[in-house]
Structure 1
Amino acid sequence: MGLKKAVVDDLLADIPNVTIVQSPSSQSLPKPKPKRLKKAQAKETAIQHADSFAMQAFDIKKELVNKTKEAASLLKIVNKAEAKMKTLMDQAKLAKQAQEEADEKAGAAEAVAKVLEVEKKEAEAKTAEAQAELIVALATKEAEIKAADEKAFAEEAADVKEDYKKQVKQDEEDKVSKDAILEKTTSDVPIAEKSID
């Protein structure tokens, strides 16, 4: 018991600001022998080392628990970041697909617009050609109508002229016939007058 008390006293002596109070019984203890003192010091050193290792192990375990918690927290953050990155990548992929589809539609619309432009130019050319043909046809028809009108007018004029000649001739014949009747009637009058007389 005295040895243990000595070891404890030595351990307490190493701790700063600790005052060791000696009990009256401990004062009467004999001083340990040097050989025993060496063994006690060796034990004390071993105990100190073991205690130091135990404290270090406790501190290391405590630090390991803290590091484990920190690692778990960081792992959660990394997982959240990865999930967010995956979502953003999916959104980027969808946006890229939408852009590609929009580009395809724009390309198709541009191709359709080019085809429609070509068709419009062809229709304009056909319209211009049809208008030219119509103008020529109208001019030809107008010339035909004019020629037909002139011919009909000439024929009508000839008919009128012929009718006029016939009328004049008829009139002349009628006049001659009237004159003849008148002369005959005049020449008969005196006979009638004579007969009346």
Structure 2
Amino acid sequence: PIPNRPGAADFRVLGNAIDGSSEPGIVMVARDDNANGVPDDTWYELRGSEAANPATVRAYAVTYYRPASDTDPVRWTDNMGSSGYIERTIHPQSFYPGWIEADSFTLTGTRLPDNGWYDEARGLWVMSSYAFGYADNLPNRDEGSCMDIDWATDAEGNAVSLDAVDFVRIYTAVNQQIPTNLVGELSTEVAGVVPVE
């Protein structure tokens, strides 16, 4: 387990973010309350800096549809009335998960506001970092890559008190594709989770 250190960060999420290239992910934690070694107990979302942002959507749902071939883009629709495609601009592999047999699947969670924007002065796309609380959001050396178990919230957004956590899960928190073949899709990359000592 990762213990909750009062008044201090508890673990760091390692990713590949660099300044101007944030692909933020929601961080969730759980205890092994039933002591079976399986992450099947209640999950709690860590409240990051954008939790109170009116553009953050807490009950977001996005459905992905199997493309006709592995080389085709993946179509998506969401519960906000939007739709689009995940284009394969750089990576050669299919973006539709090979282990899913159904022709569509839906993911739910919190969606953060789009963080990508075109910097006219520099002539490039920038994916801005948020202040704290998200995976693959700030460089690993930055204190902003550290997480505090005290940020845990229940499904209604209420703070919960946890003395330790046994499991951490992370999912991509933006649904945005930068229109350039230099970046590709925006997806959270995680290299590891390490306790802060």
What interval of TM-score do these two structures reach, taking the shorter chain for normalisation? under 0.3
Instruction: Please give the TM-score of this superposition, normalised by the length of structure 1.
Output: 0.14
Higher helix share: 1
Instruction: Please give the TM-score of this superposition, normalised by the length of structure 2.
Output: 0.14
Q: Which has the greater radius of gyration? A: 1
Higher strand share: 2
Bigger RCO of structures 1 and 2 (CA < 8 A, at least 6 apart): 2
